[in-house]
Amino acid sequence: MSEQERPEHATGRDSGENPPPGPGGDGVQPTPDPEAVEDELAVAEAAVEQASEVVEADIFTVVAERDEYRDTLIRLQADFENYKKRVAKQSDDLRERAAETLVEKLLPVLDTAELAIAHGGGADIAQLCAALFAALEKEGLERIDKPGEPFDPNCHDAVAHEPGEGAQEVAEVMRSGYRWRGRVLRPAMVKVRG
């Protein structure tokens, strides 16, 4: 047989068609080696496991950082709220002390007006004294000057004593005392009976 008579596949020449698939040229894929497949599968599984461990560790790290930041933020918010409350309380206390100081400075004016009224001062002085006390009373000033009430050393300053029977009571108020918003600002100077 001459080369021209031989079939194409026998000569190994290509007539423009693709050679048959597979290493043997017979169109059949070779069977993979089961051990090689198992080795490749084991390597792939190990790589996946290692990657999942890294991802899992990264997730735990991110979650821990998130929790730490959240806790820090919660503490910071609580500290800021406490700071705001503390500043508001200090501001209120400062206003309270400033008002109390002003009232303490005005008490001698009230005392002078009461003395002027007691020594025959006119209606003008009485009206001025009443207006000043009314303005201070609206802000929280109370007078301690009721004769006949039981003696209380917390709000009365006993400067004289007269005999009597029973429990001690206020016989006479010599100078009015005052409370400012429930706290004794100046005790009343009194004569005690009993």
**Is 169 part of a structural domain of the chain?**
yes
Q: Which residues of the chain have pLDDT under 50?
A: 1, 9-14
Which residue range forms the structural domain that includes residue 188?
Answer: 140-194
What pLDDT is stored for residue 12 in this prediction?
A: 46
**Is 52 part of a structural domain of the chain?**
no
**Is 123 part of a structural domain of the chain?**
no
**Is 81 part of a structural domain of the chain?**
no
Domain count, the chain: 1
> 114 CB contacts (<8 Å, ≥6 apart)?
129, 176
What pLDDT is stored for residue 29 in this prediction?
A: 67
**Is 31 part of a structural domain of the chain?**
no
What pLDDT is stored for residue 18 in this prediction?
A: 55
Q: What is the CATH number of the domain that holds 177?
A: 2.30.22.10
**Is 182 part of a structural domain of the chain?**
yes
3-state secondary structure 6-66: CCHHHHCCCCCCCCCCCCCCCCCCCCCCHHHHHHHHHHHHHHHHHHHHHHHHHHHHHHHHH
What pLDDT is stored for residue 55 in this prediction?
A: 79
**Is 101 part of a structural domain of the chain?**
no
What pLDDT is stored for residue 31 in this prediction?
A: 73
